[in-house]
Amino acid sequence: MQGTQMNRIQHHTPSPLEQVRRRHRVRVASSPTGTGPKKTVRRLSPADERLLQRLLQGEQDFIDSPVFYEDEAETKIYQEVPDVQKPDTTWYHPVMDDLSSSTRTRTMKSAQQVILTGAEERILFHQFNYARYRVRCVQRAVAEAADKLPTPEQAEDVLRWHRLAERIREQIAETNLALVLAMAKRTRMSEVDFADLVSEGNMALLRAVDKFDAGRGYKFSTYACRAILKAFSRQGMKLSKYRQRFPTDFDPKLEKSNFLETKRADFEKDAASEVREIVTSNRADLTEVERTVIEHRFGLEAGENEKPMTLEQVGQIIGVTKERVRQIQNKAMEKIRKELETNFLGTNQAEEAEAEAEATSA
């Protein structure tokens, strides 16, 4: 009985981390009771609670427009307008992979880019800013409340309008991704990596979407190009100041390791020594003619300044044609190869496997 009570206490007592989360969780005021039909409001998830807390901490920025204050403004902005075609961004990642490399050969002509007219841009920006305007209205209503707490309906509204604004913002940015790439290709900044340049341009594009006023009658590309180029200039100045503060000299040795080349050269040297020992001790059961051919062809018995003999020269020594010398050489090399694989290479592979096993166990 006592164990059951302890289990219940442990089950209902929240952990310290959960207690901290509950203290920082956004409280929602209860809905006022009434005689009308009740509206079902879903319970907020932890992610929605964190987002709601962030949205209620400060006022939402937006570009104002007289259309927002007209009668049935929501219907006019979202329903009584033609649909704007959404962009296809499947081309963006392959293009980025090619442009970030040294070739930069791929172009975007094959991609089905969406080019918006001035009217379509005004539709999207009105929808984007109206959604942000509705978030601001809910924020003001919560701030004016006595308990400073949002009702469940207000929490749902502020999350819904915020997500709608983010979705339209993403659509506008994706439609103008090619603009960032075009500006990055025109910018001659060899000291800045191309991928970093495009990343900075994308951030500038998002800031331009937030600040653009479509009511002035200009195209968004006119405003965004200037913002992107200014971001590129700031990136170049930042990198220049960093290099002035931390100057470094270029060292080619740090760019590429010669470990593989050194290891391969050592292995070839060891293998050559083993082949010389096989021929000298005749462990491959070579005939006298085969040993003579190998020693003269590869200079095993020659001095440091003497060169290996040609097939014709060896043939003159043993009294056969050079074609016959080639056949004898190939047969002898096959015997040496088998002996080398059986002993030398097999021993090295066993040692490497043992060393790898010891490293793994350690």
pLDDT of residue 164: 95
Residues 267 and 216 in one domain: no
> Domain containing 345 — which CATH number?
1.10.10.10
Residue 361 lies in a domain: no
Residue 202 is predicted with a pLDDT of 92
Token pair for 23: 């203290």
pLDDT of 207 reads 94
Supply the pLDDT for residue 299: 77
Q: Are residues 162 and 206 in the same domain?
A: yes
Residue 142 located in a structural domain? yes
209, 315: one domain: no
- Domain co-membership, 335 together with 301: yes
Q: Based on C-alpha coordinates, what's the Rg of the chain?
A: 38
How is 43-78 classified by DSSP, letter by letter? Answer: PPPHHHHHHHHHHHHSPPP----GGGGSTTHHHHHH
User: Structural domain of residue 320, as residue ranges?
Assistant: 259-350
Both tokens of 318, joined, read 């043993």
Closest CA to 95 of 83, 111, 82: 111
pLDDT value for 313: 87
- In whole angstroms, what is the distance from residue 138 CA to residue 150 CA? 8
Spatial distance between the Cα atoms of 287 and 313, rounded to a whole number of angstroms: 19
328 and 273 together in one domain: yes
Task: Please tell me whether residue 122 adopts helix, strand or coil conformation.
Answer: helix
Q: Is residue 1 part of a domain?
A: no
- Report the distance separating Cα 205 and Cα 198, nearest Å: 10
353 to each of 299, 301, 340, 360, how far by Cα in Å? Answer: 34, 36, 18, 10
| 81: CATH | 1.20.120
**Of 217, 245, 273, which residue sits at a domain end?**
245
Regions in the chain scoring below 50 on pLDDT: 1-2, 5-6, 8-10, 33-38, 102-107, 109-111, 350, 359-360, 362
Which pLDDT does position 167 carry in this prediction? 95
Q: What is the pLDDT of residue 225?
A: 92
Q: Do 165 and 53 sit in the same domain of this protein?
A: yes
Predicted confidence at residue 139, as pLDDT, reads 93
Q: Which two tokens stand for residue 135?
A: 């978030």
Joined tokens for residue 248: 């470094």
Round to whole Å and give the CA distance between 153 and 36.
15
Using alpha carbons only, give the angle 140, 141, 145 rounded to the nearest 5 degrees: 115
CA atoms of 30 and 152, how far apart (whole Å): 7
How many angstroms separate the CA atoms of 156 and 41, rounded?
Answer: 8
Same domain for 211 and 307, yes or no, is no
**Would residue 357 count as lying in a domain?**
no
Domain boundary among 221, 245, 269: 245
Least Cα distance to 172 among 54, 53, 50, 63 occurs for 63
Residue 7 lies in a domain: no
Q: Which of 245, 280, 310 is the last residue of a domain?
A: 245
Give the DSSP letter of residue 81: S
**DSSP run (H or E) holding 12:** helix 2-12
Question: Cα separation of 362 and 360, whole Å?
Answer: 5
CA distances from 128 to 27, 188, 219, 252, 259 (A): 28, 34, 16, 51, 56
Q: Which residue has the tokens 């018995």?
A: 301
> In this structure, are 229 and 303 located in the same domain?
no
Judging by beta carbons within 10 Å of its beta carbon (0-12, 13-18, 19+), is residue 29 exposed, middle or buried?
Answer: middle
Shared domain check, 241 and 121: yes
DSSP code for 29: P
Say if 342 falls within a structural domain: yes
- With respect to residue 254, please indicate whether it lies within any of the assigned structural domains: no
pLDDT score for 278: 82
pLDDT digits (tens, 9 = 90+) for 308-339: 888 888 888 888 898 998 999 899 888 888 88
Q: pTM for this structure?
A: 0.58
Q: Is 45 left (phi over 0), alpha (psi -120 to 50) or beta?
A: beta
Residue 102 pLDDT: 46
Same domain, yes or no: 205 and 263: no
Same domain, 193 and 309: no
Total domain count, the chain: 2
Q: Is residue 27 part of a domain?
A: no
Shared-domain flag, residues 111 and 206: yes
